[in-house]
Structure 1
Amino acid sequence: MDLQLKDLKGIGPQMLHILRNNGIWKPYDLLLNIPKSYEDFSITSIEKWHHKETITCLGHITSELKLIRGYKKDRVHFQAKIYNHTIDIIVFGRNYLIKEFKKNDCVLIKGTYDLYKNSIVASTISRQDKQIEIKPHYRIEGIHDLKLTHIMKDLFESQTLPIYENLPKELLDERKLMSRREAFYQLHLPQTFEAIDEAKRRLKYEEAFFMHLNMKKDEKIETRAPKPYDIHQVRALIEKIPYTLTLDQKEAVNDIFRDFKKPFTFERLIQGDVGSGKTMVALLAAYAIVTAKEQVAVMAPTELLARQHYQYFKTYLKDVNIALLTRKTKDKDMMKHMIFSHQYDIVIGTHALIEEDVLFKQLGLVVIDEQHKFGVSTREKLIEKGKHKDVLYLTATPIPRTLAMLTYGYAKISLMKEKPKRREAILTKYITKQTIDDMYSMMHSALIRKEHIFLVVPAITSDKVTDNIETVYQEIIQEFPHAPIFMLHGKLSSDDQDRMMENFITTPGSILLSTTMIEVGIDIPTATLIGIYAAENFGLAQLHQLRGRVGRGNLASFCYLISTKEDVERLDMLVQSDDGFKLAEFDLIERGPGDFIGHLQSGYLDFKYLDILEDEEIFLTAKEDLEKIMNQPDFNSNPKYRYLYKTYTKQT
């Protein structure tokens, strides 16, 4: 019969009710309910007593306890002999101590020492038969921490609850990890703070290890023949590109082409900073698949971006049959027939690509741009249209490696940080409404040169944000009465949005006033200035994305961050740096992973022990160790891996 909570010494009906209200239903739940924090009660030697510092000591009460009434708080006062010195002890707001302690009692005292008053203002007074140097705090309302400590002590000493090891001994030895039982023991009944750290390291490693095992179970790898692309045709195309690829672009292309040569499908994330040239990398990969006589599907989140990709691909791949499939495409039935009969080599589109009657003859590569803009089911519907297809994800959202791995599963990752040398750096300035004339002056100059200008606001109309489409439009038409001004926002129909954008692009010397709809995918070489209103409302990563809408050509470009609040320190990060990865990391620390990833979808982000920022080394080490074990030829038969193999093959 399984051990029940009610069987444990010290747990009565009332405590049982409290535990269950806190999600603790069985003894094993008690084990997993590790303390939230620990308090150091190790004795402070007298030579380390310093004025106004916290100390811990043992003392004998040498006087009667007195209750002194105060205007705001009552206090209990008594004297105690500590290290042969008589010290005044003061405790505020705990009148019950008068009845709990008496003269000659031995007590543990923790508090702030006052050298000049020869006193200790105590935060803790307790009677303990045996000194507990480290006190766990569980923070379960209605149950004293010491009570839980005694219950855990009985649980471990009785050995009635088996704690099975779930990691191979070779890993424990190699990584110098505690056993599972010892880790839980040190967390509940700690002997040193170093032991607590080692216990946490063990459980973090275990959590990372089995998370990777579950990710392996979800990995979608199929065997296929290596892609027979024509490297000579690809090299000929590269030679025609009117600029030299960056080292990061070359490395990303090499990563993909090495994947093509392998006998199984792959998923790869091309994670590139703003303006790092991801689209060219995707284009070269697509062309390689075309030379292998297979088809390519490229899905973008908006019709504007899909059309932009279509024009870009047509510019470099003049002899390749490329289709643009969107909601507006005329004669869709004919186009779908031509796609199925392989009359189109590359099909670029939006959600229209996932329609059931869009069928490919031989889909060999799927490219999903800004993939976090799509739901998981949307991506899967497109990917499933190919039998032995490879998948490329493109994202301009720089996120730390650990978070990228969790978000994109076991996709391989290629990082692109380097910007093309032909582009000038964007000059970023932080201004207020009082100094906005600086931006207006630069706008006048840009309009004279027939360049394009973006002005971004956080809302269409809002009581909470003074800078919105309506208010800023009134300001701009007064300052620039003769300039063409276009407005783009979510309340416009899709057709009106496209028309507005098209008019802006084809009108030299014009202004686009927009919400954050322009955050990604807008590539206008003559756009040289962007002003971002109420910049304090945006994260650094998003501001960096918006800044990337200018500086796409070889013209000097400017970004103005307009803020009505004191946000100098944070916005100065953007002024000083154009490294999207550094800015994203700062954002992650400041805003937290939950806020940072927002719409990113992953089932691997709910950790009990791991911290995705602080524990990257543990995370990657566990991945490396798991792969080493799973690559061993006897993984499925060696008894020491039986538990891992059963977990790996178990259907969920």
Structure 2
Amino acid sequence: MLQTKIGGIHPNLDLGVGLPLAHFLEIILNPPKAYTPYNLLDALEPEAVGCVEVEYISTHTGKVLKIHTQVKATKQVLEIVCFNHTPYHLKIFTQKSYFVYGKLSLSPYNNALQMLNPKIIDKPNTIALRFDKDCKKLPAFLRQDQYKTYLDFCLATLTPQNLEKLVSLGVPLQVVQHISEIFHPSIDFALAHNAHKGFCLPHLQALKYIEALAYMCALSSKTFDFPAKFSQHANTRALAEFVNNLPFALTNDQQRAIESIKHDMQGLRATKRLVMGDVGCGKTMVILASVALCAPYKSLLMAPTSILAKQIYTEALKYLPQSIKPLLLLGGANGKQKETFSEADFIVGTTALLYAPLDTSKVALVISDEQHRFGTKQRHALQTLATQAGGSKPHYLQFSATPIPRTLAMMEAKFIATSFLKDKPYTKDIQTRIVDKPQFNALLTHIKAEIGEGKQVAVIYPLVEESESMDYLSLKEGTPYWQKRFENVFVVSGKDNDKEDIMEGFAKGGQLLLATTLIEVGISLPKLSTIVIVGPERLGLATLHQLRGRVARLGGKGYCYLFTHQPTNPRLHNFSQTLDGFEIANLDLKYRRSGDLLEGTQQSGDAFNFLDLSQDSSLIEEVSALFSPTA
């Protein structure tokens, strides 16, 4: 359980308002979209908007209804004009006295003060609040039957007294006061909102605070506490054998991540840890160290592609102690694989793992690599694959080479055990250059020189087939050009059934690879020194970073060329200035917004209505401080 210094924060916590905290915060995060202040006007001037009390004088009916009145306070004549009038208008505007609301203007005919199509107001100096119609679909409103309108329900729920109860959770009183003003506004507040065309900074900051709080509460609800299937087990002897036999030293970040995983396994609870590694930071070695710690119990790993699964399997054969036997499972389990499964200690596969009739009773560790490539349902299915009937679970490790923004990491690390890999085993010197048609000949010369030195080059196209809306050649259109000028040209796209064989053939003896973005994820091409990305402005920065990470995998000099017809694109220029994946994630956040971060259903767009992860790090840190582990 995660707690604040004062009390527990959890979505189902009831503050004594008759609603779970999650629903209470959700109502706050759907504030009024418009305010209409029915303020009494002190001075009657053209363009002024507000209420005046009038006394009826006379009526002129015709195509346009004109009511002559006298303003009670100033004795000025005010002409009320109604277009498309009905008998109802004639009835209400001929009362002895009443309040009208509208905009004052001067008649073009007689220069008299007038108000066009005004509204009768029962209570002046009040404010009408208007909410988005979708508010009626909020779960909290649908589950009650006491209030017929959302407005009544909202104001009865978010009373100043109820809102003040947030202070007991550690929410600053000033934040609560600003939220209270949003739902119980003064005339001055409503006028300022309309003049500003939105919430002023203090009130916007208060909404951001609540949104960050709501998001972190939702994260906490996704954190489960289950007993480990095989608790207090960490095979330190197998780990030492694995590490000692490596032909290279592990980085400090790798060692810290492995130590954290070892500590997790030595506990009683099933751990759920996210290992976030920048491109080329050696995630595979941490994966294999985790498998060694788990032995002699079994480990399962699900990779998003057959190519990546084969690559991890190959690394396992090369580096794991001989006592730990790997098995590759692709496309379903045949009879032979079922037979050898009982003997295998580390089973590597694709989503075929989810459907293979495997005995998982001895599985103590489940791993997903490039976890963001799987849907929410697939990740959940993998996690529950080896869960025992009594509720005990295997340890679950998620690996990703797509860094997330630091602000998001700050929030998620409070609820999901997180390790970061930033140190690189090999020193890379990758130059990123933006080129257009005038620089193409120089690019061609560079490609020939690299191939002449025995290195490999990849050219990435945005589309496979020709497109009328695309200002670049497709993979199919560009292939003949390269095949005329180079030998050993390999062409592959996601549509090819034999793409794994093509990629393996290129890795062994190819010079030039023409492909789509399928090589983005985890492909190891040690001889690849140069990558050319066509139409890079069409791709997210995280994808560009993944593609760039394919070059110079074993260190040394590498080149990334961004071939674009937008050579002054600031987004591409910012990308070319840094190799830091976490900085790239912040840039991607700035340009593409945050997406659906909690469920993972969107990769871009507006996950937050008020919060800006690229700008609000200090506020997020303040909210994050509310959540601290129980001592």
Q: Using structure 2 for the length normalisation, give the TM-score.
A: 0.70
Match for residue 460 of structure 2 among 453, 456, 461: 456
Is the contact made by 1:407 and 1:600 (CA closer than 8 Å) also made in structure 2?
Answer: no
Contact 2:459–2:513 (Cα < 8 Å) also in 1: yes
Cα displacement string for residues 357-391 of structure 1 (whole angstroms, at most 9, x for unaligned residues): 12223111111011121122222222212233111
Contact residue 429 and residue 556 of structure 2 kept, 8 A: no
The 8 Å contact of residues 326 and 351 in structure 1, kept in 2 or not, is answered as no
- Distance verdict in 2 for CA 1:479–1:226, change over 3 Å: same
Separation (CA, whole Å) in 2 of partners of 1:101 and 1:257: 87
- Contact 1:372/1:601 (8 A) holds in 2: no
Aligned to 1:281: 286
Aligned to 1:393: 398
Residue type matched to 1:254 in 2? E
CA positional deviation for 1:416: 1.9
1:334 alignment counterpart: 336
CA distance in 2, matches of 1:250, 1:165: 49
Q: Distance in 1 between matches of 2:427 and 2:158?
A: 65
Write the distance in 1 (CA, Å) between the matches of 2:596 and 2:218: 25
Aligned equivalents of 1:30 and 1:230: distance in 2?
A: 50
In the other structure, the counterpart of 1:144 is none
Residue identity opposite 1:297 in structure 2: L
Q: Is the 8 A contact 2:44 2:104 kept in 1?
A: no
How far does residue 279 in structure 1 lie from its aligned partner after superposition?
1.3
Note if contact 2:257-2:275 (Cα within 8 Å) is conserved in structure 1.
yes
Q: Give the secondary-structure state (helix, strand or coil) at the position aligned to 2:500.
A: helix
Q: Which residue of 2 aligns with 1:178?
A: 176
Counterpart residue number, 1:34: 31
Residue of structure 2 in register with 1:344 after alignment: 344
> In structure 2, do the counterparts of structure 1 residues 374 and 171 end up closer, same or farther at CA, with 3 Å as the change threshold?
closer
- The letter for the 1-side match of 2:106 is I
Instruction: Give the Cα–Cα distance (whole angstroms) in 2 for the partners of residues 219 and 531 of structure 1.
Output: 42
User: Conserved in 1, the CA contact under 8 Å of 2:34 and 2:130?
Assistant: yes
Change (3 A) 1:478 1:406: farther
Q: Quote the offset at 1:404 in angstroms.
A: 5.3
RMSD of aligned Cα (Å): 4.4
Distance in 1, Cα, partners of 2:524 & 2:29:
52
Give the letter for the 1:470 counterpart: K
Q: Is the 8 A contact 2:178 2:202 kept in 1?
A: no
Q: Give me the whole-angstrom Cα distance separating, in 2, the residues matched to 1:101 and 1:37.
A: 34
Return 428-437 or 243-252, whichever deviates more: 243-252
Q: Secondary structure at the match of 1:178?
A: helix
How far is the alpha carbon of 1:545 from its aligned partner?
0.8
Identity in percent: 27
* 2:372 paired with 1:372: yes
Residues 216-246 of structure 1: per-residue CA shift (max 9 Å, x gap) = 3332221236432232432342233222222
Q: Superposed, which structure 2 residues align to 1:414-429 within 5 Å?
A: 414-420=419-425, 422-429=426-433
Alignment partner of 1:447 out of 435, 442, 451: 451
Bigger mean CA offset, 315-324 vs 542-551: 315-324
- Contact kept, 8 Å, 2:299 with 2:366, in 1: the verdict is yes
What code does the residue aligned with 1:521 have? G
Residues 59 and 204 from structure 1, CA distance in 2 versus in 1: closer, same or farther, beyond 3 angstroms? same
Q: Indicate if the aligned counterparts of 1:530 and 1:550 stay in contact, CA closer than 8 A.
A: yes
Higher RCO (Cα < 8 Å, 6 or more apart): 2
Q: Deviations over 1:459-484 (max 9, x none)?
A: 0112222321122212212332xx11
Look up the match of 1:512: 513
Cα distance, 1:599–1:229 mapped onto 2, change above 3 Å: closer
> 2: CA distance between counterparts of 1:489 and 1:231?
43
- Answering whether residue 503 of structure 2 is matched by residue 501 of structure 1, we say yes
Q: What SS is found at the alignment partner of 2:590?
A: helix
| Paired amino acid for 2:299 | V
Contact 1:399 1:585 in 2 (8 A): yes
Of the three residues 230, 253, 259, the one matched with 1:254 is 259
Offset from partner CA, 1:252-298 (integer Å, 9 cap, x none): 222222222222112111111111111111111111111xx211111
1:527 aligns with 2:531: no
Amino acid at match of 2:298: Q
Q: C-alpha distance in 1, partners of 2:376/2:329?
A: 20
1:215 to 219, 229, 234: 219
Superposed, which structure 2 residues align to 1:59-98 within 5 Å? 97-98=105-106
Q: Aligned partners of 2:570, 2:608: CA distance in 1, in Å?
A: 31
> Any conservation in 1 of the 2:493–2:499 contact (CA below 8 Å)?
yes
Following superposition, the deviation at residue 131 of structure 1 comes to: 11
Offset at 1:184? 3.1
Between the aligned partners of 1:451 and 1:599, the Cα distance in structure 2 is 38
Q: 2:492 touches 2:499 (CA, 8 Å); kept in 1?
A: yes
Number of aligned residue pairs: give it.
512
Paired with 1:529 and 1:243, the residues of 2 have a C-alpha distance of 25
Give 1:261-300 correspondences, 5 Å limit: 261-290=266-295, 293-300=296-303
Q: Which residue is 2:107 aligned to?
A: 99
Mapped partners of 1:257, 1:242: distance in 2: 22
Relative to structure 1, the CA distance from residue 624 to residue 189 in structure 2 (aligned partners, 3 Å threshold; closer, same or farther) is: farther
Distance across 1 between alignment mates of 2:362 and 2:566: 55
Is the CA contact (8 Å cut-off) linking 2:254 and 2:282 kept in structure 1?
yes
Q: Unmatched 5+ residue regions in structure 2?
A: 1-24, 37-41, 47-101, 116-122, 134-150, 194-198, 388-392
Match of 2:384 in 1: 384
1:424–1:97: structure 2 CA closer, same or farther, 3 Å change rule? Answer: same
Task: Quote how far apart the aligned CAs of 1:354 are.
Answer: 0.8
Whole-angstrom distance in 1 between the partners of 2:396 and 2:526: 29
Deviation per CA, 1:461-514: give whole Å up to 9, x if none: 12222321122212212332xx11111112211xx2122112111115x11100
Is 1:301 the counterpart of 2:304? The answer is yes
Which residue matches 2:53? none
Q: CA deviation at 1:187?
A: 5.5
Q: Is residue 228 from structure 1 mapped to residue 233 from structure 2 by the alignment?
A: yes
Asked whether the equivalents of residues 306 and 324 of structure 1 are also in contact (C-alpha less than 8 Å), the reply is: no
Closer/same/farther in 2, CA of residues 567 and 462 from structure 1, 3 Å limit: farther
* Contact 2:301–2:366 under 8 Å retained in 1: yes
Distance in 2, Cα, partners of 1:605 & 1:430: 29
Shift of 1:447: 1.6
Q: Taking structure 1 as reference, are residues 180 and 426 closer, same or farther at Cα in structure 2, changes over 3 Å only? A: closer
CA distance 1:203–1:574, shift in 2 (3 Å): closer
Structure 1: unaligned runs, 5 residues or longer: 1-27, 40-57, 63-93, 108-128, 141-153, 633-652
| 1:430 equivalent among 428, 434, 437 | 434
Equivalent AA in structure 2 for residue 548 of structure 1: G
Deviation per CA, 1:91-112: give whole Å up to 9, x if none: xxx998223999998x9xxxxx
The verdict on how the C-alpha distance between 1:200 and 1:558 changes in structure 2, with shifts beyond 3 A counting, is closer
Indicate if the aligned counterparts of 2:216 and 2:412 stay in contact, CA closer than 8 A. Answer: no
Q: What amino acid is aligned across from residue 565 of structure 2 in structure 1?
A: T
Inter-partner Cα distance in structure 2 for 1:32 and 1:216: 19
Distance across 1 between alignment mates of 2:500 and 2:544: 23
CA–CA distance in 2 between the matches of 1:411 and 1:485?
45
Per the alignment, residue 24 of structure 1 pairs with none
The change in CA–CA distance for 1:296 and 1:491 in structure 2 (over 3 A counts) is same
Q: CA 1:327–1:101 in 2, change beyond 3 Å: closer, same or farther?
A: farther
Give the Cα separation in 1 of the matches to 2:539 and 2:157. Answer: 54
Amino acid paired to 2:473 = D
Read off the aligned partner of 2:329 and give its amino acid letter: T
For 2:437 and 2:607, the matched residues in 1 are separated by 42
- Give a deviation string over 1:512-542, Cα, whole Å, max 9, x none: 1000010111111111111111222222221
